[in-house]
Amino acid sequence: MDETLAKWLYLFNRGDDNQSFRRFGAHRVGPGRWQFLVWAPNAKAVAIVGEFSDWQPTALKPVGETGCWLGEHAGDVGQLYKVQVTTRTGEIVEKIDPFAFAFEKKPGTAAKLTDLPQHAWQDTAWLTQRKDHLSYDRPLNIYELHLGSFKRHEDGSYITYREAINEVLPYVKKLGYTHLELMPLMEHLLDASWGYQLMGYFAPTSRFGPPEDFLAFIDAAHQLGLGVIMDWVPGHFIRNTDTLAQFDGTPTFEYADPHRADNVRWGTWNFDLGKAQVQSFLLSSAMFWLDWCHLDGLRVDAVSNMLYMDYDAGKEHDRNRFGGRENLEGTAFLKRLNTQVFAAHPDVLMIAEESSDYPKVSAPIDTGGLGFNYKWNMGWMNDTLKYFSTDPYARQAHIDQLTFSWVYMQNEQFILPFSHDEVVHGKKSLMHKMPGDRYNQFANLRTMAVWHMTFPGKKLLFMGSEWGQFLEWRDWSQLEWVDLNDPLNEKMQTFTTVLNHLYQATPALWQEDFQAHGINITIGDRSDVIAYERRGRADKDRLIVVLNLLPEQRDQFIVPVPHAGLYEIGLNTESARFGGTWTHLQRRLRTRGKPERGQPDSVAVVLPAMGALLIKPLTEKTQGAGSMEVKRDD
């Protein structure tokens, strides 16, 4: 055996190879010649069948006792092929190449002969600033997008990666987002799975074009100043028998125990995260997307499913060898994943979609954590949506649904997600969740958006929510862009854009997200009004947030402020520009010289009905600015 190959396979079988995509699968070894390397440890025989051989098998040879099979064949780029496995029982089955970089279009599952996708990258400036400016004390505002349903052609066909460069990226940038989060774009068969039931862990889906065009899309985003995150699914995979399931005739990628392998919740198979070769496979997948494709991070899907043995249906009493609920292999794998990713890329985002109260998900591993740098705050999201979807007068008794999150808001480094999961399957769109008539629905939605944007933590919003789409998200058709012909939807989109840009320009809203200093709650004991101060590092970087949670205007409402002087209302959700009724805005405020609620001073404001104000202190440079209106036109 070649000494270099022997080293590679040794590392792969130890679980220490995070670059296995460079050796496994099909790789060109000369003009018109390809080498195939397949892991099938319990197969009786392995062969390659493809267009280049009229689908007749070309046998691979076992590589010692490594469980791998190696061989060569002539072929042309783009030709289709599969792996033919003869099981120990003599059954002959055709399987995908797990390491393929490209597949034929659905419903086929044949891989394509192709080199590692190439691209002449022009994102050096982006990668340099990413390395120099880590995300913790920077604005992070994510637009979550399902590429297959963002926009479509008139005939219902998908836009391509190349078309998305012009259709998606300028739009997201103009709205004021810092990052784009793509729902899984790895190869998958079922559209209705949204990409979460995968088969191609190294292949951008062929739905939207070749892999090289996917790389061009990422590069274009970076050149425009947008980061790109993609959802990644290391916990489970598609059941189809011609993919990874029972790959060599025995449980290969999945657990040998059928009970543990069966993922009832999603109708998939669970990866055996304790198996060394599966770890090499998944670690290599993560590094492929981060290294080769220049992604800025991975949102790791269904982390709870990897943390708990009893997470899934029918497994309520499953226990590990110590009698606990924790999936020991799963937690060990996640720690290993984050260790290797951050060793190579300390500046990327590793985000856990984790729905339990598992401790220290976003804490460093050497302190007992899992090593992610962010965790989705599902509790905050669920409580917020429950509160704002209730009639304003009925929800007064449930103000704790908002204020309880203050208790744990800095237990983790949180992202606050209003994701696709909250606007589908009968849950209604964000706008449709809001109570009252259409006007009041938008008023509630704007107020909730301020709560979202000013609460400690980074942000995520699913596409279409920025203008208050009424219909639930549908993966089979494009967003309801026609909504923007309605003035209320168009003004909601304007509001989101203004709020996003204000967020980016205001260090108080992101610089100290995960420090106690970053927020000071000044009114938290009422059932109708909440007020708090967000703080940056510099004393001048402060923003006062006031939320009126009832549809009743409050004149001469007293707001505590941190010092005497002049203040300015930077945003009023009830401005007519945003769909409200205020045509003249109260802007310039002078302190009353009276302490309030333990704060040194206070200002009197007109608090809009079902609305929010953002109030900022004026510096010496801005105090001489022109006068501002102080009354409201009905």
- Which residue out of 144, 213, 262, 353 is catalytically annotated? 353
3-state helix, strand, coil in the chain (%, to 5): 30, 25, 45
Could you give the CA distance from residue 357 to residue 308 in angstroms, rounded to a whole number? 11
Strand residue runs (E) in 330-434: 349-352, 374-376, 414-418
Per the listing, tokens 């004026």 go with 618
- Which residue out of 231, 262, 301, 312 is catalytically annotated? 301
Residue 414 contacts residue 377 (beta carbons within 8 Å): yes
Residue 462 contacts residue 473 (beta carbons within 8 Å): yes
Active site residue 310: no
DSSP 537: S
Could you give the CA distance from residue 19 to residue 40 in angstroms, rounded to a whole number? 18
- 3-class secondary-structure state, position 132: helix
Radius of gyration of the chain (CA): 27
Residue 297 CB contacts under 8 Å (≥ 6 apart), including other chains: 179, 227, 229, 290, 348, 349, 350, 351
Closest C-alpha to 228, from 309, 297, 281, 287: 297
- Sign of the C-alpha dihedral, residues 551, 407, 418, 613? positive
Query: In which region does residue 464 sit, left (phi positive, over 0), alpha (psi from -120 to 50) or beta (all else)?
Result: left
Phi, psi of 244 (to 5 degrees): -90, -20
Closest C-alpha to 496, from 259, 260, 172, 186: 172
Per the listing, tokens 């729902």 go with 183
CB atoms within 10 A of CB 254: 26
For 212, the token pair is 């090289």
327 residue type, one letter: N
Could you give the CA distance from residue 286 to residue 539 in angstroms, rounded to a whole number? 41
Active site residue 353: yes
Please tell me the total number of residues recorded for the chain in this structure.
634
Burial 290-319 (b: 16+ CB within 10 A, else e): bbbbbbbbbbbbbbbbbbbbbbbeebeeee
Could you give the CA distance from residue 569 to residue 27 in angstroms, rounded to a whole number? 61
Distances (CA, A) of 20 to 28, 100, 220, 296: 15, 12, 28, 21
For 173, the token pair is 């940038």
Could you give the residue numbers annotated as active site?
Answer: 301, 353
